Amino acid sequence: MKLFYTPGACSLSPHIVLRELDLPFEIEAVDLKTKTTASGVDFTTINPKGYVPALQLDDGEVLTEGVAIVQYLADKHAPGTLAPASGTVERARLNGHLNFVSAELHKAFSPLFAPTLAPEAREATLANLGRKLDVVDKALSDGRPYLTGPDFTVADAYLFAVLSWSPKLGVDLVRWPRLGAFSQRVVARKAVQAAMAAEGLPTAA
């Protein structure tokens, strides 16, 4: 398998999952501005959507969308571990977390990447983001170490990847101490350390 990624992007989530599962795979970086891979290939010939992640399977099939990729990997290679079994209430809850991180939290961070964001727009964006962070912070209440309970899942990998953008975007998580503790807990995992090191990222939350 080959994972097409951009350092520190949401592709960090399937990268972590691949390492959690201890699977054989390669990685190839993608320049999202030029849509070119590290080997010089036009990335849109691999993923016409033009963004990461994309996972090329051994038979040449290419999967896109991080939420789909991490569930495929968990179900195919370690059923019931990084994701509860399909058709269970527990799986539905996991999907709820994955969808919220993807559709709400990820998107709430996105405007902050624009260098020309006006101060008024930034203030509105941070207010909206704060409401989304309130939701995931509450999900970690009652001493719950991970989103669905005591066990690390693919949803935690995605949440960690998104929260890792906070420092570079000037988002202070001090208001959400459970999220800070969550990030510290996840970054200490061996697979997470390995994925971040491979992407050239600082191995600290």
Reply yes or no on whether the pLDDT at 4 is more than 90: yes
pLDDT band at 204 (very low <50, low <70, confident <90, very high): low
Q: State which fold the 89-188 domain adopts.
A: Glutathione S-transferase Yfyf (Class Pi); Chain A, domain 2 (1.20.1050)
CATH class assigned to 2-80+192-198? alpha beta
pLDDT at position 154: 98
Residue 17: count of CB within 10 angstroms of its CB: 29
Q: In the numeric block, which tokens belong to residue 119?
A: 């101060």
pLDDT at position 203: 79
Reply yes or no on whether the pLDDT at 70 is more than 70: yes
CA separation for the pair 137, 105 (Å, rounded): 12
pLDDT band at 205 (very low <50, low <70, confident <90, very high): very low
Residue 52: count of CB within 10 angstroms of its CB: 25
For residue 36, what is the enclosing H or E element? strand 36-37
